[in-house]
Amino acid sequence: MQTEPDRSGFGRAAAFGGMFLAWYVGLAVLVGVVGGGEFIASTPGLCLLVTGTGAGGLWLGDRFGRWQDWTPAETWGLAAGPPQSRIWAAATLGGLTLGVVGGWLAENVGQPLKQAMHWPQDVDTMTSLASALTEGPLGWRALFILVVVFVGPLFEELIFRGVLWRSLRARGAVTSILVTSLAFALYHGDPAQAIGLLPLALLLGVLRRAGAIAPCVLAHALNNAVATLLALTLGLDGETSVALATGAAACGALAFGLALSAGQSAEPGPRVR
């Protein structure tokens, strides 16, 4: 019996990424055409776009995994054993603090970059998200909070640290971390938001390197919960102080250290035929 070589890599990642991008753009265009420009930026429109994009991504991921003859556990990052306690600690600590670091980066690096790029002022994803959390009917805002804190992180981790990570596995952990982190940041569209998400994205990759995907979902959900709380309490004009960002960065560095100290998980390799 011979073990089939695992040829997964950039080609597979590009194939799945292209299909997911086509679905995301197509859905956004459809929602915008049917509902109008104001609807897609409203709380109901964003709820529909986030859940629809994620659900479509999961369907595409399932089809793609079957096409590649992966098991569901391989496709969704469930093949590794139970995470170590230090991984759960890293996920919790990083999830609670790296969003603060990301907020400072978005304000002080991302926004000047947008100005240098001559980014349209009326295209601001971060403002749209904050407005959806703080304005409009209470029922829709409550639903959007659930989507942002629970639904979005689950869907996005299964897509980026599940299917996309599995596609890149043969390229090694460093490549998988960098590619999935960059793809995850760019997926959010806004340059300032993309830069702000990079610290979290890199930690999620390091957590995934250590094993199962559940700690990634936890860190992502905690990050979004903190961002939601800050948006609700500080509003659209809130700024992240240097002192707060520095303290959060120190905690984030500790989270990276804990995650890296856990080593790399040996996930099951290609099946023997």
Query: 163-178: per-residue pLDDT in tens?
Result: 999 999 989 999 999 9
Does the model's pTM come out above 0.85? yes
70 and 61 Cβ atoms separated by less than 8 Å: no
Query: 237-256: per-residue pLDDT in tens?
Result: 667 888 999 999 999 999 99
- Region label for 211, one of left (φ > 0), alpha (ψ between -120 and 50) or beta (otherwise): left
Burial 105-124 (b: 16+ CB within 10 A, else e): bbbbebbeebeeeebeeeeb
Query: 27-75: per-residue pLDDT in tens?
Result: 999 998 988 878 888 899 999 999 999 999 999 999 999 999 999 999 9
Local confidence band at 273 (pLDDT 50, 70, 90 cut-offs): very low
